[in-house]
Amino acid sequence: MATEIKKLLGGLQTRIEARQRVLNLILTSVITMILTIGLTSCNESSSQGSSSNDAGDPFEAGVAVVDITPPVGFTKYGYANYQSGQEGITSTGIKSPFYAKAIVFKQGDTKGAILVCDLIRMMRDLSSVVRERASEKTGIPFQNITISATHTHTGPTYRFKLQDYLNREAEGKLTDDDKSGYIAKLINGMVEALVAADNQLQEVELLSGIGTAEGVSFNRRYLMTDGRVRFGPGYLNPRIVRPAGPNDPNVHFLLLKPADSENFTASLTVFANHLDTYGGTDFHADYPYFLDQNLKNVFGEQFISVFGTGTCGNINHVDVTRPAEFSQRKMITEKIGKTLAEAIKETLPAAHQGKPGLKVLSRTVYLPLQDFTKEELEWANNEKLKPLYTERVFLEGSRRLKILSLDTIRQREAVQPSVSGEPWLFPAEIHTFRLDERTAIVTIPGEIFVELGLKIKEHSPFENTLIIELANSNMYYVPDYNAYTQGDYEPTQSRLAPGSGEKIVEEALNMLNQINPD
């Protein structure tokens, strides 16, 4: 009995320390914002940080790439393991390298940074520690750094290993294996990319444009003949009536060229399509790898292609109206990368060069989490118990995982309600970057439904609004309100209460209007 109690207390202590570390990192960011500009509030009771400059100052940018490829044998994302809440499967090879790619912008006293990593998701633990360390080394304010994942489904899974590493680091108990292992490489590589980009700052010209890539992305939710909406109903299914929502074929891009050069040296591309096209047990960065290779063919081997994933929570590469071979894995991966590169090349003559004016704004909104009962938590923890819901086995597994995840989120990063009956709240940080009078970047956590991204772009005061999802924390699916009423996979998986996506849209538009001088 004494041994069991000791184990229980030890596990409880680890959970308390982990939650405290996350809260400390959140508190650090808030304190930094307070010291920099003071604390303001908005309708969502949010904290914010902002930075702007004299538009007459030179506009500078620096871009850097650092390898963060895991070793063969490191855990890789796997569907069966994901459904059971386990860490992943064992990788068997490396088919393309993985990178942390950073862009630092500077004008006058204002600096902002965007870091994109070839990872399945961006955990708050990881983004916070990297932002904190990079800020110390570069002087870029913590709140002016945003970090996102590409969401490659053939990437490493690292959540539990990261938590263990950070716990041992906080206790001063890192081993030699820890210091030479992948988690240390990942953290250090991400910080190194930001520092290197900051060191590469030089005056640049910026061009932005919007191309189109048709036939490589599709809404993956369909209205069926029985009136229901189904996720991924299968190829040539005769019960499909039509897609249940829109698609977004636009390819948003920026191109950077040193002021003293005629050659473009780097780009940022944003496209809304799941990075789930390669498959298998090998590591692969998915279609952004082939985008990179094709752009190098156009602009030169030293060209750096940064890719940010657009709002594709309900978008993937599968065309259910044609036989399966037209969406074949690996083949379609290369096709998408090539199609995006061609869209940029074709649109380049019409790309816009505006008057630079850098502004950076960060704001945290608090989104209501879904609730669960003690009975549901007990059921989620015990697969032998009778199902509580009448639904497909696939959805039952998703619901079980969602409940366990919500319990973990409560323990580690959610804000507890102050009044009985109110929901737990998830702190979601949104960033906006104004680059010129027509061009802005938005970064948002979570897998955002395309309807929400289209709404932001439709009402944005900027002609070219690049929206990057999966930033700074792991919020899972963020459907629009209508999708919750339709149900099926993504709404079942979502941790957030209905209406949260619309709150994100509202706040992102408020922020875009705030950084728009007109």
Separation CA 62–CA 416 (nearest Å): 40
Per-residue pLDDT band at 14 (split at 50, 70, 90): very low
Say whether both 169 and 212 belong to one domain. no
- The backbone torsions φ and ψ at residue 398, rounded to the nearest 5 degrees and listed phi first, read -65, -40
CA angle 282, 307, 60 (to 5 degrees): 140
Residue 21 located in a structural domain: no
- CA 224 distance to own-chain centroid: 30
Residue 20 located in a structural domain: no
Separation CA 143–CA 293 (nearest Å): 32
Strands (E), 272-316: 282-283, 304-309, 315-316
- 270-300 per-position pLDDT tens digit: 999 999 999 999 999 999 999 999 999 999 9
Say whether both 81 and 165 belong to one domain. yes
- 391-418 per-position pLDDT tens digit: 888 899 899 999 999 999 999 999 999 9
pLDDT above 60 for 48 = no
Kindly report the number of other CB atoms within 10 A of residue 30's CB atom: 16
Q: What is the percentage of the chain residues whose pLDDT exceeds 90? A: 81
Say whether both 189 and 70 belong to one domain. yes
11-20, 170-179, 361-370: least confidently modelled range = 11-20
Residue with tokens 């961006």: 122
Q: What is the percentage of the chain residues whose pLDDT exceeds 70? A: 88
pLDDT above 80 for 55 = no
Residue 5 located in a structural domain: no
| Domain termination residue (choose one: 200, 233, 266) | 200
Per-residue pLDDT band at 86 (split at 50, 70, 90): low
Sequence letter at residue 441: I
Separation CA 103–CA 116 (nearest Å): 9
Say whether both 176 and 236 belong to one domain. no
Residue 49 located in a structural domain: no
Q: What 3-state class would DSSP assign to 201?
A: coil
Say whether both 187 and 211 belong to one domain. no
- The residue-averaged pLDDT of 11-22 equals 47
- 245-266 per-position pLDDT tens digit: 999 999 999 999 999 999 999 9
- The residue-averaged pLDDT of 42-65 equals 70
Say whether both 421 and 448 belong to one domain. yes
Q: What is the mean pLDDT of the chain?
A: 90
| Domain termination residue (choose one: 200, 228, 261) | 200
pLDDT given for residue 328 in this prediction = 85
If we measure between CA atoms, which residue out of 308, 256, 306, 295 comes closest to residue 65?
Answer: 306
Residue 42 located in a structural domain: no
Per-residue pLDDT band at 15 (split at 50, 70, 90): very low
Largest CA distance in the chain: 74
Residue with tokens 């081997």: 301
Separation CA 479–CA 490 (nearest Å): 7
Residue 30 located in a structural domain: no
Say whether both 377 and 438 belong to one domain. yes
- The residue-averaged pLDDT of 192-212 equals 98
pTM of the full structure: 0.90
Separation CA 450–CA 165 (nearest Å): 35
Separation CA 260–CA 246 (nearest Å): 43
Separation CA 22–CA 128 (nearest Å): 8
pLDDT given for residue 334 in this prediction = 97
Say whether both 342 and 242 belong to one domain. yes
Q: What is the total count of domains within the chain?
A: 3
- The residue-averaged pLDDT of 473-489 equals 97
pLDDT given for residue 66 in this prediction = 99
Say whether both 371 and 511 belong to one domain. yes
User: Which residue did the predictor score with more confidence, 77 or 350?
Assistant: 350
Per-residue pLDDT band at 38 (split at 50, 70, 90): very low
Burial zone of 482 (CB within 10 Å; 0-12 exposed, 13-18 middle, 19+ buried): middle
- CA 507 distance to own-chain centroid: 18
- 129-163 per-position pLDDT tens digit: 999 999 999 999 999 999 999 999 999 999 999 99
Q: Per the structure block, which two tokens stand in for 390?
A: 């009448």
For residue 207, the surrounding DSSP H or E stretch is strand 202-212
If we measure between CA atoms, which residue out of 309, 308, 305, 395 comes closest to residue 345?
Answer: 305
pLDDT above 80 for 84 = no
- The backbone torsions φ and ψ at residue 268, rounded to the nearest 5 degrees and listed phi first, read -125, 120
Strands (E), 68-125: 75-76, 89-90, 93-94, 99-107, 110-117
Separation CA 485–CA 498 (nearest Å): 9
| Domain termination residue (choose one: 325, 352, 379) | 352
Per-residue pLDDT band at 23 (split at 50, 70, 90): low
pLDDT given for residue 329 in this prediction = 84
Separation CA 425–CA 391 (nearest Å): 28
- The residue-averaged pLDDT of 462-467 equals 98
- CA 174 distance to own-chain centroid: 29
- Contact between residue 432 and residue 462 where contact means Cβ atoms under 8 Å apart: no
Say whether both 246 and 318 belong to one domain. yes
Helices (H), 181-286: 182-199
pLDDT above 80 for 2 = no
Say whether both 161 and 227 belong to one domain. no
Residue 52 located in a structural domain: no
pLDDT above 60 for 7 = no
- 312-328 per-position pLDDT tens digit: 999 999 999 999 988 88
Residue 7 located in a structural domain: no
CA angle 86, 95, 449 (to 5 degrees): 55
Separation CA 459–CA 469 (nearest Å): 18
2-11, 450-459, 465-474: least confidently modelled range = 2-11
If we measure between CA atoms, which residue out of 270, 304, 299 comes closest to residue 62?
Answer: 304
pLDDT given for residue 41 in this prediction = 31
- Contact between residue 507 and residue 46 where contact means Cβ atoms under 8 Å apart: yes
Q: Which residue range(s) make up the domain with 327? A: 205-352
Say whether both 411 and 288 belong to one domain. no
